[in-house]
Amino acid sequence: MTEKIKAIVLKSTDKKEKDKNILLFSIEEGKFWATLKGVKSPNAKMKQAQIPFTFGEFILEDGKAGKIVTSFEAIESFREFSENVDKYFAGMGILEVLNVLDFSSASERAKMLVLCLRALKTMCFKKANPIYSLDKFFIELFAETGSALSTEKCSVCGSKSFDKIYINYLTGELVCTACKDFNCEELSKTTFGALRLLNSIDFDRFESLKLAADSEIALLRILVKNFEARFDAKIKLIGILS
């Protein structure tokens, strides 16, 4: 059977002398492995299809050992990631998240693919700290999966007047002092300010954004810890948090 899909490359591994296996994420199929035949040959036509971040249109055939890529056309290569190490590691963080999550429906996968591409494009092409986009990606991920972080009031009592704010890692929500328990961690004023600002603006406004020094990393640590508690999945974010 032949099928045509649009997908993003999450990672690739060697297979035999000249072949590669690539892990793809698409709306139709979710995550799956496919083989690129002869792609390590000097004159191979589909070399770009083996590179993580590449988004394109793949034509696949069913083979004896799984799906085989027979044709590929790049839509976006995100080549800038290979030229900027900070952007590269931030982008790899997004691919890592997609690699550990599973989505049960095509609508969920469509939302995640759109969110992924928007965050990667902002990292790649906007003159803004790439960590802003990674933080925003986690914030939007929570919202898309039905667990949005409300930054305007306590999620338990509804109070809008609080001197301190905490994140409850058991519920994944923000609470005030009166509603906190042993599952909670306090957010500093600068970290909460960064969260509140990123929660309120779109990716398109990042070029004019300036957060307090180091608040983007402090916020990222909290968002990652919250992600791991919500989804029972570990991520490393190599080059950023490890």
Q: Which tens digits make up the pLDDT trace of 135-192?
A: 999 999 999 998 889 899 999 999 998 889 999 998 889 999 999 999 999 999 999 9
What pLDDT does 15 receive? Answer: 86
In angstroms, the Cα distances linking 55 to 4, 218, 227, 239 are 13, 31, 25, 23
Q: Is the pTM of this model over 0.85?
A: yes
Question: Is 213 in the same domain as 158?
Answer: yes
Question: Is 11 in the same domain as 29?
Answer: yes
Report the candidate in 228, 223, 29, 220 with the shortest Cα–Cα distance to residue 110: 29
236 domain-assigned:
no
239 domain-assigned:
no
What pLDDT does 80 receive? Answer: 93
Question: Is 39 in the same domain as 109?
Answer: no
Q: What is the pLDDT of residues 5-41, one digit of tens each?
A: 999 999 999 988 889 999 999 999 999 999 999 988 8
Question: Is 72 in the same domain as 125?
Answer: no
CATH number at residue 39: 2.40.50.140
Report the candidate in 143, 66, 57 with the shortest Cα–Cα distance to residue 108: 143
Question: Is 112 in the same domain as 57?
Answer: no
Total number of domains constituting the chain: 2
Question: Is 7 in the same domain as 116?
Answer: no
Of the candidates 55, 76, 97, which is a domain's last residue?
Answer: 76
Question: Is 83 in the same domain as 72?
Answer: no
| Integer Cα distance of 136 and 97 in angstroms | 13
Of the candidates 27, 51, 76, which is a domain's last residue?
Answer: 76
Report the candidate in 2, 127, 152 with the shortest Cα–Cα distance to residue 62: 2
CA 190 vs. chain centroid, Å, equals 24
Question: Is 51 in the same domain as 91?
Answer: no
Domain that holds residue 126: 79-231
C-beta separation of 80 from 126 below 8 A: no
In angstroms, the Cα distances linking 130 to 44, 96, 125, 136 are 33, 16, 10, 10
237 domain-assigned:
no
